[in-house]
Chain A
Amino acid sequence: MGKCVISVNVNGKVYERTVEPRMLLSDFLRHELSLTGTHVGCEHGVCGSCTVLVDGMTTRSCLCFAVQVDGQNVETVESLGRIEAMHLIQLAFWEKHGLQCGFCTPGMLMCTVELLRNNPNPDREAILEAIGGNLCRCTGYQNIIASVERAVELLQTKEEAAS
């Protein structure tokens, strides 16, 4: 089986790798690039844990081959913040206890990133629609919804301070 040379921009950095076409984007990120922030849950598109952005749109990285994103832009949870300098969406999840075990969190965060870029002031219905495809077995979802609502507030406060 032939291999493919691909070049992918991940979080602003271009990576060139030779991969088997059957390699999933989730495995490409974790095994080839050591970006293990993207979590792999079900590996058949049910749980949403592995959600990343491809050219700005949420994509389940287990339902996408790495070769398909050749030449495209991928954003993973590593593009957000770090423990000492959290992204405001991460801060909101921390404040509102939007996670317990944390396994679903990277997917929840990336869905929130896409939602708030396209709709900075979502109503509750829009939030449910955005995260509704992602499973969480700890929180019962209510704190995740509260976290997204808090992220809206934090981002708006930042926006007002900047203007």
Chain B
Amino acid sequence: MKPAGFEYERPGTVEQVLAALDRYGEQAKLLAGGQSLIPMLNLRIVQTEHLIDIGRLNELKYIKRVDDVIRIGALTTHNAVMTSELVRQSCPIIAEAYHHVSHHSVRNRGTIGGSLCHNDPAAEMPLVMNLVDAALVARSARGERKIAASRFFGSSFSTVLGADELLVEIRVPSQPAQHGWSFQEFSQRKGDFALVAAGALLTVHAGLCRNVRIGYRNVGPNLFRLAKVEALVEGKAADAALIAQAGKLAMESVEPPSDLHADAAYRRDLVKTLTVRALGEAIRRAGH
């Protein structure tokens, strides 16, 4: 349970971090809050030549509004995002989903950017960022690029970031004032990894559901939305029968894996149950 040796450095500025990444490439790992990377180092699932500690780059710790977009510095801790009034008002599904993210002490150190780049298949924030249509800003010695959350995440533990790139900012559009949201998760104990998580966002106009988005986590290596379920609900009157039909369609549309904690049939059941709960709650909240 002790990490293998590595060279350690703690650059003082983003520019210095980018220079170090440029120098070391695949031989380096970035250490942000360390709440996922350090366990992996301890268990020697990961070994690295160079560990670049970015945990004290205060220039990447902020939450601010610019026009209708909330800009979150990549090194902002989970607890800082979770308790931010700005985030709660502009995009409440983020705050709600955070109630399922690990435990208080881990959220004290863990960062939103670290979690997004780690992309654990059970992690909540990648799904939330996809649902809210966030943009992720990455920088390297080559320059800066903005990546839509829908294109950022790959399969388990992978993203489109290159070895020389640093995620610096997450841009979350403010959600419409009268939108409905819900984040539902089932795990063995509070704070454990999700067996299945589901998130829903929508608006209701004249009794009809609009802009429906529903997505899932830990129902496979990739996070995904179910276009068929979104299309079923879109433009329809939001009643119990429709929600039940959506749950059934969701269950029939997924091919979850089996593992020690839940077999495929159980996960499929959870997809149905959480779909019904998420859509039901989002519809109730819309317009209130």
- Residues on A lying within 8 angstroms of B by beta carbon are 1-2, 4, 20-22, 24, 27, 43-45, 48, 51, 57-60, 62-65, 67-68, 111, 129-130, 132-133
* Residue from A4, A22, A59, A132 within 8 A of B109 (CB atoms): A59
Instruction: Give the Cβ gap from B29 to chain A, nearest Cβ, in Å.
Output: 12
1/0 per residue B190-222: CB within 8 Å of A? 110000000000000000000000000000000
Does B108 lie within 8 Å of A57, measured CB to CB?
A: yes
Residue of A nearest to B55 (CB): A68
Distance, CA A86 to CA B10, complexed state (A): 39
Does A63 lie within 8 Å of B39, measured CB to CB?
A: yes
Instruction: Give the Cβ gap from A79 to chain B, nearest Cβ, in Å.
Output: 17
**Does B266 belong to the interface (CB within 8 Å)?**
no
Residues of A contacting B11 in the complex (Cβ-Cβ under 8 angstroms):
none
Does B42 lie within 8 Å of A133, measured CB to CB?
A: no
Instruction: Give the Cβ gap from B8 to chain A, nearest Cβ, in Å.
Output: 3
**Does B3 belong to the interface (CB within 8 Å)?**
yes
Instruction: Give the Cβ gap from B73 to chain A, nearest Cβ, in Å.
Output: 18
Does B4 lie within 8 Å of A45, measured CB to CB?
A: no
* Residue from B7, B38, B41, B109 within 8 A of A1 (CB atoms): B7
Residues of A contacting B106 in the complex (Cβ-Cβ under 8 angstroms):
45, 60, 63, 133
Distance, CA A2 to CA B39, complexed state (A): 22
Does A64 lie within 8 Å of B51, measured CB to CB?
A: no
24 contacts between A and B (CB under 8 A): A1-B6, A2-B7, A2-B8, A21-B8, A21-B51, A22-B41, A24-B2, A27-B2, A44-B1, A44-B42, A44-B43, A45-B35, A45-B106, A57-B108, A63-B35, A63-B38, A63-B106, A65-B38, A67-B8, A67-B10, A68-B53, A111-B104, A133-B105, A133-B191
Residues of B contacting A67 in the complex (Cβ-Cβ under 8 angstroms):
8, 10, 53
Interface positions, chain B 29-76, Cβ under 8 Å from A, are 31, 34-35, 38-39, 41-43, 51, 53, 55
Task: Give the most central of B38, B103, B109: most A CB within 10 Å.
Answer: B103
- Residues on B lying within 8 angstroms of A by beta carbon are 1-8, 10, 31, 34-35, 38-39, 41-43, 51, 53, 55, 102-106, 108-109, 190-191
Instruction: Give the Cβ gap from A56 to chain B, nearest Cβ, in Å.
Output: 10
Residues of A contacting B103 in the complex (Cβ-Cβ under 8 angstroms):
48, 132-133
In the complex with contacts A63-B35, A65-B38, A132-B190, A22-B2 CB distance below 8 A? yes
In the complex with contacts A22-B3, A63-B38, A68-B55, A4-B8 CB distance below 8 A? yes
Distance, CA A83 to CA B35, complexed state (A): 34
Distance, CA A60 to CA B103, complexed state (A): 11
Interface of chain A, main secondary structure: mixed
Distance, CA A132 to CA B222, complexed state (A): 29
Residues of B contacting A21 in the complex (Cβ-Cβ under 8 angstroms):
5-8, 51
Does B105 lie within 8 Å of A59, measured CB to CB?
A: yes
Does B104 lie within 8 Å of A132, measured CB to CB?
A: yes
Instruction: Give the Cβ gap from B35 to chain A, nearest Cβ, in Å.
Output: 6
Ranked 10 nearest A-B pairs via Cβ: A133-B103, A21-B8, A43-B1, A1-B5, A58-B105, A44-B39, A57-B108, A22-B3, A63-B38, A45-B39
* Residue from B1, B8, B104 within 8 A of A130 (CB atoms): B104
Does B38 lie within 8 Å of A45, measured CB to CB?
A: yes
Does B42 lie within 8 Å of A43, measured CB to CB?
A: yes
Residues of B contacting A2 in the complex (Cβ-Cβ under 8 angstroms):
7-8
Instruction: Give the Cβ gap from B46 to chain A, nearest Cβ, in Å.
Output: 12
Task: Give the most central of B10, B105, B191: most A CB within 10 Å.
Answer: B105
Residues of B contacting A58 in the complex (Cβ-Cβ under 8 angstroms):
104-105, 108
Residues of A contacting B4 in the complex (Cβ-Cβ under 8 angstroms):
22
In the complex with contacts A132-B190, A133-B191, A64-B6 CB distance below 8 A? no
Residues of B contacting A68 in the complex (Cβ-Cβ under 8 angstroms):
31, 34, 53, 55
Residues of B contacting A65 in the complex (Cβ-Cβ under 8 angstroms):
8, 31, 34, 38
In the complex with contacts A59-B105, A67-B53, A132-B34 CB distance below 8 A? no
Residues of A contacting B7 in the complex (Cβ-Cβ under 8 angstroms):
1-2, 21
Task: Give the most central of A45, A62, A130: most B CB within 10 Å.
Answer: A45
